Chain A
Amino acid sequence: MRVGLFIPCYIDQCYPQVGLATLQVLRRCGVEPEYPREQTCCGQPMANSGCVEAAKPVARHFAETFAAYDYVVGPSGSCVSMIRNHYDDLLDDAAEQQRLAGKTFELCEFLVDVLKIDRIEGRFPHRVGLHQSCHGLRELGLARQSELGPTATPQVNKVRTLLQSLEGITLVDLARTDECCGFGGTFAVKEAAVSCLMGRDRIADHQQAGAEVMTAGDMSCLMHLEGLIKRDGAPLRVMHVAEILAGNQP
């Protein structure tokens, strides 16, 4: 099984520890991924702004970079969703697009659905709030959304399953289980006022639940939230799920 490690551009540049943690987790689960050196970005910022023509060469580059792998795994629900759900008008070759979509997985999803792992060895004796990033939740279906009826699939929360298996961890109960953090890519800049209020409300929910650490499957949400936490001096740490699963401590 050849697994290509997909480290989104901003993780590469700003949060290398999340990339390392992803690599570590995969290795501990018996997978030795390869990191294709030529990778850059999935094209999401351009595509979500509507700039399809600007996104096309980026998507093409991504598809070529990962063409040789059986699986592509990355620590970002939103980038993975971009490839799986939004590449159809970026790649001209429909067969290529479907092949790529079918083999690209978010980290927790890959562990649970492909490797069939539901337990991770490790200890994390802290109170943790799980921010369910929207694209992972609603576009990849990493958990059942609170909006859907009781029979909707899936019934398992893939991220939570893995976190819960850690020794000593307490997952706190949030008042709003799947509220958006307000990042939304260029939304964070174009609608900065609403974006920041959404972020502060998200942080407040974690604080009232007594979380020490806020985690998510998407570093981009955490980047926005961390920016607010630091500015406000809130007593909360952010850690990507991969970091917690890799055994890092706050």
Chain B
Amino acid sequence: MSHATAAAEFVADVDRARWHDRALWFVRSKRDKCAQQLPEWEALRERASLVKQHTASRMAEYLEEFERNAVALGAVVHWARDAAEHNAIVYGLLKERGIQRVVKSKSMLTEECGLNPLLESKGLEVVDTDLGEWIVQLRHEHPSHIVMPAIHVKKQEVGELFHEKLGTTAGSTDEKYLVGAARAELRSKFLAGTAGITGVNFAIAETGGFVVCTNEGNADLGASLPALHIASMGIEKLIPRMADLGVFLRLLARSATGQPITTYSSHFHGPKPGGELHIVLVDNGRSKLLANEELRRSLNCIRCGACMNTCPVYRRSGGHSYGVTVPGPIGSVLYPARDMQAHKSLPDACSLCGSCTDVCPVKIPLHHQLLAWRKTLVKAKVTPWHMRAAMSVVGGVMARPWLFRLGGKLGRFALRWSPRWLTYNGLNPWGAQREMPPAAKQTFSKLYDDGIGHGSARMDGIDKDQNKLD
């Protein structure tokens, strides 16, 4: 389904679309306040962008340095070319140890790789321990946002869900009560879990350690209680030095939720005493992006979700309308790289307002990259032929002034004299909810030719003409 079709379905419930928009705008406003408080905000963004670009330019070198140092700390490092390899490695580790139950802290990478369905198909129990992610898991859905996975779900709906699944009081929407119930239930899962899977926010080449950021502390519990900790990370999560970390930690929480710092930024340096730590480094298309000069900077992404919160299209169409794990502007850049045909509508889910480029803490020129995709899709003839043909015709007309004048004359004549049913029908998506632009009696160029180009003496006369145009 194209984004436009899915978005139209979401927007059809206009109250819900507006509620969704307001919820995300609230987060974006909090982010703005944070950015405004730091005089060094733009300098931080610049620094982060440069560090990420530098890392990308020496990706192989830094990955090997990370591996060396992580191994020296006692971790086992695995390399996965794609999602299937990642899942096979994780499943292999669990199977070897006869593990049946896994607690997962929010990891968009395992979501991207489809780990949950695979493990469940092998008979394992997987519990997502991030509250939002657990809610969507209980609803048999996917996250609609990378930082706030259940942002599309209303409080009342959570109340109903918990009543059905956990036996909370029917009709309750009290947050404290509902969170308390979730906490008790998840706590038992943590204690029963025999392996913990986490994502990675930042991996430091210099030390071989990594950092996981959560607001609920679920990664700490998930990684600390069981003997086995598996950390899955996309190769782009790498930064060179410990000294770079502060730049990113300052940017991440402020950009994501408008907090000065994430509640828990947990550092992992090797396995806990008596435990095992496995780090899976996943490519899954990332090196393809690295090789693409135009899109390389999309690897800067630290998955803060700021571009989603600010995107006026995302806010009103909901994350599920994108049909991918990482929705919004960054997702629309990333997914066509995997499959142009399947995701061809995503670069069009954008009014090119450029707000995503401005909020991005690592300065990915998102709206320029979306534009670059549109060009690539046209070049590869993935864009429907009628769109390309229409634009060729318009281009042909606009390159010939006489044809432009003639076309304009005919168009204005038609617009002025056509019966309404001819202008406003199912074939005119503009006119479904909007009136057409006015067809002026005279063009500007005609008025200019008629004399206003010859000095200001005639301006009064023109002012009157102009009123007539209304």
Contact = CB atoms under 8 A, between A and B. Distances in A.
Interface of A: 7, 9-21, 23-24, 27, 34-35, 37-41, 43, 45-46, 48-58, 60-61, 86, 89, 134-135, 138-139, 145-152, 176, 178-180, 182-199, 201, 223-224, 226-228, 230-231, 248
10 contacts: A15-B440, A35-B453, A51-B391, A147-B355, A149-B36, A150-B39, A150-B41, A191-B313, A194-B11, A196-B432
A192 B447 contact: no
Contact of A13 (B354, B400, B411, B432): B411
The bracket for how many chain B residues form the interface is 35 or more
Most chain B beta carbons < 10 A, residue from A15, A38, A56, A180: A180
Interface string B434-460: 111111101111111100110010010
A16 B439 CA distance: 10
B395 A134 contact: no
Given A49-B387, A147-B310, A41 B355 contact: no
B352 A48 contact: yes
B391 A49 contact: yes
Contact of B355 (A12, A37, A138): A138
Contact of B351 (A18, A176, A195, A226): A195
A150 B42 CA distance: 8
Nearest to A149: B41
A54 B389 CA distance: 9
A189 B429 contact: yes
A134 B352 contact: yes
Contacts of A53: 392, 395
B444 A46 contact: no
A215 to B, nearest CB: 16
Contacts of A18: 444
A198 to B, nearest CB: 5
A59 to B, nearest CB: 9
Contacts of A10: 437
B292 interface: no
A40 B398 contact: yes
Contact of B352 (A20, A146, A152, A185): A185
Given A50-B377, A194-B317, A60 B399 contact: yes
Contact of A194 (B316, B359, B470): B316
B239 to A, nearest CB: 22
A52 B378 contact: yes
A205 B245 CA distance: 40
B394 A54 contact: yes
Contact of B392 (A13, A51, A191): A51
A211 B318 CA distance: 30
Contacts of A138: 353-355, 357-358
A192 B433 contact: yes
A196 B433 contact: yes
Nearest to B348: A190
Nearest to A56: B395
A230 B424 CA distance: 14
B383 interface: yes
A45 B17 contact: no
B430 interface: yes
Given A20-B444, A51-B388, A14 B439 contact: yes
Contacts of A201: 18, 21, 316
Given A20-B462, A54-B392, A184-B350, A176 B401 contact: no
A55 B395 contact: yes
A147 B311 CA distance: 12
Nearest to B31: A147
A112 B350 CA distance: 31
A118 B359 CA distance: 30
Q: Which 8 A-B pairs have the closest CB atoms?
A: A149-B41, A184-B351, A50-B374, A227-B434, A54-B395, A19-B444, A180-B353, A57-B399
A189 to B, nearest CB: 5
A10 B408 CA distance: 9
A43 B395 contact: yes
Contacts of B408: 9, 12-13
Contact of B395 (A51, A139, A182): A51
Contacts of A228: 433-435
Interface in B322-361: 347-355, 357-359
Given A54-B394, A150-B39, A190-B348, A176 B25 contact: yes
Nearest to A250: B470
B374 A49 contact: yes
Nearest to B387: A49
A13 B433 contact: no
B303 interface: no
Nearest to A55: B395
Contacts of B349: 191, 194
A55 B399 CA distance: 9
Contacts of B397: 40
Given A13-B440, A191-B348, A228-B434, A40 B401 contact: yes
B420 to A, nearest CB: 12
Contacts of B18: 197, 201
A129 B167 CA distance: 51
A195 B11 CA distance: 10
B78 to A, nearest CB: 39
Interface in B1-46: 3-4, 7-8, 11-12, 14, 17-18, 21, 25, 32, 35-36, 38-42, 45
